[in-house]
Amino acid sequence: MPESSTDFLSVAVGLFILVLLKKIFDSWKTTKGPYPPGPKPKFLIGNALDFPMNGIGQHFMKVGEQLQSGLVHLNILGNHTLFINKKNIADDLLEKRARIYSGRPHLTAVEALGWDTSNILIMGYGDEWRKHRKVAQQHLNKRQTRTYEHIQLRHLHKMLHRLLYSPEDFLQHTEVLSTAVVMDIMYGYQIDRHDDPANVAAEKMVALAVSLMLPGGALMNILPFLRHLPAWIPGNIAGKGVKDCLVWMHEMRDIPMADLRKRMDQGMATHSAVSACLEKNAASAVDTDPDAERVMCNIAWASYTAAVETTVSATGWFFYAMLLHPRVQRKAQAEIDSIIGAGRLPTFADRPSLPYIEAIYREVMRYAPPLYVGFTHSSTEDDWYDGYFIPKGTSVFANLWAMTHNEGVYPDADTFNPERFLDEHGELNDDDNILAYGFGRRACVGKHVASATMWITIVSVLACFMIEHPKDEQGNEIEVDNECEYLGLVMRKKPFKCRFVPRSEGARRLVEEATLDVGTSQTHFL
């Protein structure tokens, strides 16, 4: 290694030690009161070794049970972190005190990506966020979401067709569906293949970004000066991750915008959120909002960034649950047959008439919430709760896993059981709060689109297919394990195999006809 590089590393290590000691000293020298219960911190490093990179929700649920506390506090190298394990506490802090707990952690890696000013999911709580939130709500509110139903149905029918002809690739088909719906809504951009360049760029970007967004996911988040280390320095994993992430981020933003502008120039653009914004600005020289295009484009790419992993995770767990619970599958199909019959595919108008399907949707989101510890909140000022001190700047996680697996609320919580959302008459009970969408002012702004896409996927797949165990060469069923994988804050079922068998020739014909109705052919998107 060149001498200059060696000198640079020596200086960097020295600064690392000095900054680390200062952060730890500053965090311990003034304490206004007792912190919430937590693991006993170790000398200098605090609870740095008590934060697992995988299974965070399950781990801190157990820690909370051992401490007999709904709050678990950590001091990680001078950075305060709080896990909320009980819904009532999350309501008290994240809902009722949303003014204090609507911030996002200050993460150097996020700043390096530029997301602190461009991504509504990540940016801090303030005027810029409010501006983005207002625009997002205009396009993604419950009423507006109903105008997107034809888009969701079109892409869902394509997915059914793919399941018919290449069922072994069902996980890829769900990835295409989740991204295609949002890309169509936002840009009118059509994704019909898993290897579409915009889809590939989004997946690669998100895969790199999810770990960088954890408070301890990149060392530069703890020691900001490390951001300035060259990416080529050995061991600078986060620096290389930021560099690569930026490349894919520009790809995923530029591809659909270039496509949209080209179609607009040719007079071939379909209506979309971004095209409407561009057309409005182009049509009025007086009322043009120079900032409107920037904000709308930020909302667009952030929306399909969020869709890449979360909807895919939920759909994967749904397939897995149906595979392991054929009784639930048969009961759901009996309800579909009795209400819809065998002569057509489900539509959104059927949703109020299918309580058991709705219960399955709720149970999927409870059983395995995609963001199983929620997106990190941050306290913007000192606070007290139940006699405990919560300092300004604390990273706050709503431990959705602990809340949705609370045995006091959901008995036998590790069992998939849609009946828990029904009363004795088979009607839906009042437990309709999907915790997976988060709390307070930072709750998922796209939850209505996500809910609609997830529901129509569940009911349509069950209407058309039996989901069965794969079989070996001798015709014996192959068991599927229950292992999962973690991508930052997202929990997904590990890839597995299953069979999608058309329920009847009539079901097969409905899928074929629906595909023809949207003007596509098998060769177009397989």
Q: Which H, E and C letters describe 369-433, residue by residue?
A: CCECCCCCEECCCCEEECCEEECCCCEEEECHHHHHCCCCCCCCCCCCCHHHHECCCCCECCCCC
Say which range, 175-184, 346-355, 356-365, 472-481, has the weakest mean pLDDT. Answer: 472-481
User: Residue 372's pLDDT is what?
Assistant: 92
Percent of the chain with pLDDT over 70: 90
Query: Which residues fall within 8 angstroms of residue 14, CB to CB, at 6 or more apart?
Result: none
User: Residue 240's pLDDT is what?
Assistant: 85
pLDDT in tens, 465-486: 999 999 888 888 888 988 999 8
Global pTM value? 0.90
Q: Which helix (H) or strand (E) holds 72?
A: strand 71-76
User: Residue 221's pLDDT is what?
Assistant: 75
C-alpha dist (Å) from residue 469 to 46, 161, 227, 415, 428 = 47, 20, 48, 19, 30
pLDDT in tens, 188-214: 999 999 999 998 998 888 888 877 877
Listed in order, strand segments (DSSP E) in 149-200 are: none
Residue 87 has pLDDT above 80, yes or no: yes
Residue 438 has pLDDT above 80, yes or no: yes
d(CA 119, CA 352): 34
Structure tokens at 73: 């506090």
Question: What is the average pLDDT value for the chain, to the nearest integer?
Answer: 88
Identity of the amino acid at 314:
A
Say which range, 78-82, 234-238, 328-332, 405-409, has the weakest mean pLDDT. Answer: 234-238
Say which range, 21-30, 336-345, 411-420, has the weakest mean pLDDT. Answer: 21-30
384 beta partners: 389
User: Residue 78's pLDDT is what?
Assistant: 82
User: Residue 311's pLDDT is what?
Assistant: 85
User: Residue 475's pLDDT is what?
Assistant: 82
**Mean pLDDT to the nearest integer, 434-443:** 94
- Higher-confidence residue: 327 or 118? 327
User: Residue 79's pLDDT is what?
Assistant: 85
d(CA 449, CA 439): 17
Residue 277 assigned as binding residue = no
For residue 98, name the pLDDT band (cuts at 50, 70, 90). Answer: very high
- Higher-confidence residue: 233 or 5? 233
User: Residue 229's pLDDT is what?
Assistant: 74
For residue 181, name the pLDDT band (cuts at 50, 70, 90). Answer: very high
Residue 115 has pLDDT above 70, yes or no: yes
What is the rounded end-to-end Cα distance, in angstroms, of the chain?
50
pLDDT in tens, 395-424: 999 999 999 999 999 999 999 999 999 999
User: Residue 28's pLDDT is what?
Assistant: 53
pLDDT in tens, 295-319: 999 999 998 888 777 888 999 999 9
**Mean pLDDT to the nearest integer, 112-140:** 91
User: Residue 2's pLDDT is what?
Assistant: 46
User: Residue 526's pLDDT is what?
Assistant: 35
User: Residue 22's pLDDT is what?
Assistant: 53
User: Residue 17's pLDDT is what?
Assistant: 56
Q: What is the DSSP string of 447-510?
A: HHHHHHHHHHHHHHHHHHEEEE--B-TTSPBPP----EEEETTEEEEPP---EEEES-HHHHHH
pLDDT in tens, 142-163: 999 999 999 999 999 999 999 9
The top-scoring range by mean pLDDT among 109-113, 118-122, 365-369 is 365-369
C-alpha dist (Å) from residue 521 to 167, 176, 526 = 17, 16, 9
pLDDT in tens, 209-233: 877 877 666 777 776 777 777 777 7
